[in-house]
Structure 1
Amino acid sequence: MSKNIDEKDILISRISDLYYLSMERNKPEFTSFLNESEISICIEALKDFGITDYCFFGGYENSQRKVLGFFAKEEEYPISIIEYKYRKQDKLTHRQFLGTILSTGLNRNVIGDIVCMEGKSYVFVLENQAEYILSQINRIAKVGVKSRIVTLDNFDYTPTFKYYDYTVASLRLDAVVAAITGLSREKVRTLMLSGNVFKNYIEDTNISDKVSQDDIISIRKYGKFILDDINGLTKKGRQKIKIKQYI
């Protein structure tokens, strides 16, 4: 059995155990932070189990990494936000923050989204590790930083996008992915069958699957996109679409 299958089975077993533990104790139970692949696995497993009393939440709307909670309200999720401030001329990156935090010995699943801005960044972490992270880090990539735990009210963030106009033969997922990536349909097929494309956070290997307006399409190594608008047909009968990409 491959490592990936083992990890998938372990994750499915874990969320099943958490659900029944939540039922038994009559209180919310939570996973650590999950990536898009893990979220997709959980959604499919929960559907198979017939479980509906759950929610994914990453600390703010449209987060990429999320915690799965059973019978929980958003304010109950064990997520803390660490704010880092530094000079505006010091351009720190997601990679630099992640590398520094992981160097303290923590696992990746302790860390949610990392949102970098001008002169400040926000790191979403599991609540029980927040104070430890604060105590361990005062520099990121040789840049001095000031840190504190803040509430969501302090998280002043509006996502920014790049916009692209494409024409596609149809609203099939492979056609839209081909337009976004510039890859041939055959290479897109390989990309999708390898589990690298997600529609609305669910891994999608169905080449002929259809997409609709406002669908979220995530492509590994390319980014996260939204089908923002469907603008009718060209004179040659091709579908006009507008895509926006998170930046």
Structure 2
Amino acid sequence: MSIYMHFRQEEHEFIDQVLEWKETVNEQYAPKLTDFLDPREQEIVQSIIGSNEDVKVRLFGGAEGAERKRAFLYPSYYSPSLDDFQLKAYEISYPEKFVQIEHRQILGSLMGIGLKRSKFGDIHFHDKKVQLVIGEEVSSYVELQLQEVGRVKVSLQDIPLSELVSPEAVWEEASTTAASLRLDVMLASIYNLSRQKAQLLIGAKKVKVNWKVVEQSSFECREGDILSARGFGRSKLLTIDGKTKKDKWRVIVGKQK
């Protein structure tokens, strides 16, 4: 039975990459460290490597509840340590008495210096502290280049990984019904929007499913999908519970608090 059957068409390319990593570790008998993966990619890696006898996998993103993590694939004889993940943590210092910086501004500034999203992990906010996890291989470049966020001067302080504060995601459950599992219909039901408003958000590339921008309103949602719409937060389709007498889908949704 084909491994691809369990995954969406658009995930096949990533699956090929994971199979290639696995093959390389197997053949060269040497470990392989990936860039940062989003939770859906982590899930795919774990399901493909799974309970393989020869190749094992560990995931780590710097802190216990990290969302983005690097995967470390290794031969069964190898005993991995946290150093193998090659992570560096920083605290971003800025004049917080006078100005507030936001997640999207830090994201924009990192991408603005030419950094790919896969080269850095979570951006943590705790009280007024802002913390950042990046791959060791780009750390000296980031230290040199990241001098402003928005228009605010910033500086980076090296901190040990043990000082990272990663808040656990809390999901508030609610049930809803939807006429179909199309993305525009699901967004309208979950966030109490008109279907037209949902379609506008999708068309403006403001909607992600499993951390990837989706531009088709007709995209079919599945159980376990994480949806996010800019300005409306994140939600998860916890269970799709069959249909009501009026032929609507009964869905249990978790909304991130």
| Distance apart, 1:126 and its partner CA | 0.8
Change (3 A) 1:64 1:107: same
Distance 1:52 1:180 in 2: 40
Amino acid at match of 1:245: Q
| Distance apart, 1:92 and its partner CA | 0.7
Match of 1:236 in 2: none
Match of 2:26 in 1: 23
2:163 is aligned, of 149, 154, 173, to 154
Aligned positions of 1:62-211 closer than 5 A: 62-71=65-74, 73=80, 75=82, 76-89=84-97, 90-159=99-168, 161=170, 163=172, 165-166=174-175, 179-182=189-192, 197-198=209-210
Would you say 1:34 and 2:34 are equivalent positions?
A: no
Match of 1:232 in 2: none
Contact kept, 8 Å, 2:35 with 2:71, in 1: the verdict is yes
| Distance apart, 1:162 and its partner CA | 7.4
Tell me the TM-score normalized by structure 1.
Answer: 0.63
Give a deviation string over 1:29-48, Cα, whole Å, max 9, x none.
Answer: 1111223554465456556x
Q: Secondary structure at the match of 1:81?
A: strand
Distance 1:107 1:136 in 2: 14
| Distance apart, 1:179 and its partner CA | 4.7
| Distance apart, 1:198 and its partner CA | 4.3
| Distance apart, 1:86 and its partner CA | 2.1
Contact kept, 8 Å, 1:114 with 1:121, in 2: the verdict is yes
| Distance apart, 1:25 and its partner CA | 4.3
Moved over 6 A (4+): 49-52, 172-178, 239-242
| Distance apart, 1:157 and its partner CA | 3.6
Runs of at least 5 residues in structure 1 that lack an aligned partner in the other structure: 229-238
Instruction: Please tell me the root mean square deviation across aligned C-alpha atoms, in Å.
Output: 4.8
Contact kept, 8 Å, 2:66 with 2:166, in 1: the verdict is no
Match of 2:241 in 1: none
Tell me the TM-score normalized by structure 2.
Answer: 0.61
